[in-house]
């Protein structure tokens, strides 16, 4: 039986540990899918959680999305090979899209690059926001039978100004997430 909630976020600048209730463990993964995989594995091994909650920043690839968004689905945006459709890992029997326990919500495309330009594939695939960790966290959670939720704070519009805007606003979603966390 799980032992409560574990939060995985990329950096303390996104979510300061001092604001997290003592009964909830937080793991800082660092940026990217490999780092997120390691953090999720470590969290499951050390805490045996009943729920993994990912919080982090995201770029919106859909005009008008603002604030803290619940994420319903995660897929890989940077798997591009001639052996399978984009977003699908060839010769892999695991799911290519992971679905959270949240009702409603948005679709997040995860990749190991910072999106700074439009990509028609996002619209074709229903991707609304982009990040660099969620798919890995969802995959590890699924593999271990642990439910997951994710909330992404939109910091930028995944355009030529994205890096600069993200750096200025990466901490702004913290209070909104803490409000949601209090309800969990």
- Give me the tens of pLDDT residue by residue for the chain, a chain 184 residues long: 457 999 999 999 999 988 898 899 999 999 999 999 999 999 999 999 999 999 999 999 999 999 999 999 999 999 999 998 998 889 999 999 999 988 889 999 999 999 999 999 999 999 999 999 999 999 999 999 999 999 999 999 999 999 999 999 999 999 999 999 999 8
7: closest CA among 28, 36, 33, 32?
28
Q: Is 63 exposed, middle or buried (0-12, 13-18, 19+ CB in 10 A)?
A: exposed
49: closest CA among 10, 1, 17, 15?
1
Q: What is the structure's pLDDT at 57? A: 98
Cα separation of 5 and 11, whole Å? Answer: 18
- Map out the domains of the chain with their CATH numbers: 5-183 (3.40.50.1580)
Q: What is the structure's pLDDT at 184? A: 83
Cα separation of 175 and 10, whole Å? Answer: 16
Structure tokens belonging to residue 145: 């039978």
Q: What is the structure's pLDDT at 1? A: 42
166 Cβ partners below 8 Å, 6+ apart?
Answer: 57, 59, 114, 155, 156
């Amino acid at each position: 039986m799980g032992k409560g909630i574990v939060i995985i976020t990329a950096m303390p600048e996104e979510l300061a540990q001092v604001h997290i209730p003592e009964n909830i463990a937080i793991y800082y993964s660092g940026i990217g899918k490999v780092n997120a995989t390691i953090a999720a594995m470590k969290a499951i091994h050390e805490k045996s959680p009943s729920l993994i909650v990912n919080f982090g920043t995201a770029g919106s690839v859909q005009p008008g999305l603002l604030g803290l968004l619940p994420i319903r689905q995660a897929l890989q945006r940077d798997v591009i090979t001639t052996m399978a459709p984009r977003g699908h890992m060839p010769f892999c029997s695991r799911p290519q899209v992971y679905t959270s326990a949240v009702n409603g919500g948005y679709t997040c495309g995860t990749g190991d690059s910072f999106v700074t330009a439009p990509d028609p594939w996002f619209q074709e695939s229903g991707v609304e926001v982009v990040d660099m960790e969620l798919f890995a966290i969802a995959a590890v959670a699924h593999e271990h039978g642990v439910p997951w939720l994710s909330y992404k704070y939109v910091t930028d519009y995944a355009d030529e100004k994205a890096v600069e805007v993200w750096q200025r606003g990466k901490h702004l979603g913290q209070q909104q997430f803490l409000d949601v966390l209090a309800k969990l």
